[in-house]
Amino acid sequence: MDEFPQILAIFYAEFHITQGSQVLFEVPEGFTNSINDGPLKVDFDSFSEYMIPKSALCNQLVTISTTNFRIMGYPVLLQDSKYERNALLFNLCFVFEKSANILSFEQIVTKIARVLRALEVRAILNKVESEFLSNPETKSTLPNIITQIMEDLNSYHECQISVNDSNRIDLKLFPVHSEPPPVYDYQVPILITDLTKYIDRHWDITMRRIVDFVNGVNTVHKIAYKSDVDITYFGNIYATTSGINRLSESEELQNECIEFVRKPDCLAPSVGMIFSLYCSLKGNMSLLDWMRENPVYSSQVDIRRFIAFGVIHEIILRIHNYPIYYNPKDDKVPHEVLEISQYLNGQHHLDDLCTRFNKGPKEMQELLNIPQIQSIFK
């Protein structure tokens, strides 16, 4: 059984200033035509207000169900004085069987909408140039693009389409797995296979540290304590970079960030909230201390994903602790410190030292917490 549902139809709709909402292109032909009385047919007029909606429903996923079908779209509203009535409203909609699980297509529909938006409005040297959808010549290529998207996704679950010499559309379907259940400190993990048989040097260093303590008796909290692994990494320090400017300027990056960092089944955080939270990471306190000062995030933002998104998109960076040993002739220094003193020269950060000498962050910090050692954070 195919893990992805088949696309039954794709149609491109726009709002016309005199004729209202209308379908301009569709595959297969006649799918939205009210004259067509076949079983594979929908009456676009009956749901056009949702696919070409008011501004409140624009720039987000919209899914509706009819008697026989589920229809997913991402209506895009562009406002500019160059358009008639100062706006262009369009939507590329995908149609599926009513019983289909279409979660895997949410990213596809969202991406293609953003690609079409980018093809229509492109910023070059701070000048916004309209193209593609408002140009009849380039717009006429849409039927071929829509046809290839439908055929390739149905047959191969991916497609690569060259739009012009400098732009192309790359789409790929991925299965959507359910979110893993939350793991609490008091729970006891149980191995259902002998992981020690599969351990090799490529394994994650954290996994290698905890596997010996997963015995069906230790709680998660006890495993973290015994292995000296900071499960939440809240001792890390982060600071904002100049990449924050891209977040303030790019609507696409803003939308991607909101969807990535929001907590499931919670109200989505505003761009202003996310921007403010990133700006408050000044590199002068641990993540745990920062969380205590910024409790506003807790109900809407997944802190782990918030940090991960910031690092991946270079909005923030990790500030590392570089220990320096200032008094190598001091005979009062612990022997363990002397053994690693050649690395305490400001060139090796704490994570590097922990990995080299197989110690946890807490153990290493306690070892280096002596007057003869100072730290540089950078």
**Range 21-29 contact pairs with CB under 8 angstroms and sequence separation of 24 or more:** 21/45, 21/48, 21/49, 21/51, 21/52, 24/142, 25/142, 25/143, 25/146, 26/146, 27/143, 27/146, 27/147, 27/150
Per DSSP, the residues of 103-124 read GGGHHHHHHHHHHHHHHHEEEE
Whole-number pLDDT of residue 88: 87
CA dihedral of residues 239, 240, 241, 244 (deg, nearest 10): 160
Q: Which residue has the higher pLDDT, 258 or 39?
A: 258
Give dist(CA 123, CA 224) in Å, integer: 49
The torsion angles phi and psi of 173, rounded to 5 degrees, stand at: -85, 135
∠ CA 57-58-62 to the nearest 5 degrees? 65
Q: Which of 143-157, 216-230, 246-260, 333-347 has the highest mean pLDDT?
A: 143-157
Residues in the chain, overall count = 378
Give dist(CA 102, CA 153) in Å, integer: 13
**pLDDT (mean) for 71-96:** 89
Give dist(CA 200, CA 337) in Å, integer: 29
Do residues 3 and 175 touch, judged by C-beta distance below 8 A? yes
Residue with token string 């290493």: 364
| CA distance readout (Å), 125 to 57, 128, 340 | 31, 8, 52
Q: Which of 9-23, 38-52, 282-296 has the highest mean pLDDT?
A: 9-23
Q: For 72, left (φ over 0), alpha (ψ -120 to 50), or beta?
A: beta
pLDDT tens digit sequence for 238-261: 999 999 999 988 888 999 999 888
> For the ranges 34-43, 54-63, 221-230, which has the lowest average pLDDT?
34-43
Give dist(CA 264, CA 272) in Å, integer: 19
Q: Which H or E run contains 37?
A: none
Residue with token string 């001091």: 330
Q: Which of 3-7, 189-193, 349-353 has the highest mean pLDDT?
A: 3-7
Residue with token string 């997913």: 72
Give dist(CA 301, CA 264) in Å, integer: 9
Residue with token string 């569709």: 26
Model confidence pTM above 0.85:
no
pLDDT tens digit sequence for 319-374: 888 888 877 666 677 878 877 878 888 888 887 887 778 777 777 878 888 878 88
Do residues 149 and 112 touch, judged by C-beta distance below 8 A? yes
The mean pLDDT of the chain is 82
Strand runs labelled E in the chain: 9-16, 20-27, 62-65, 69-73, 76-79, 87-97, 121-124, 127-130, 158-162, 168-172, 237-240, 282-286, 316-319, 321-325, 373-377
Is the previous residue joined to 269 through a cis bond, with omega within 30 degrees of 0?
no
3-class state of residue 63 by DSSP: strand
Do residues 96 and 6 touch, judged by C-beta distance below 8 A? yes
> For the ranges 115-119, 159-163, 200-204, 209-213, which has the lowest average pLDDT?
200-204
Whole-number pLDDT of residue 155: 94
* Residue 207: count of CB within 10 angstroms of its CB: 12
DSSP assignment, residue 300? Answer: T
Give dist(CA 87, CA 85) in Å, integer: 6
Report whether pLDDT(147) > 90. yes
Q: Report the percentage of the chain scoring pLDDT > 90.
A: 17
Q: What's the distance, CA 110 to chain centroid?
A: 13
Do residues 150 and 169 touch, judged by C-beta distance below 8 A? no
**pLDDT (mean) for 252-277:** 87
* Residue 117: count of CB within 10 angstroms of its CB: 21
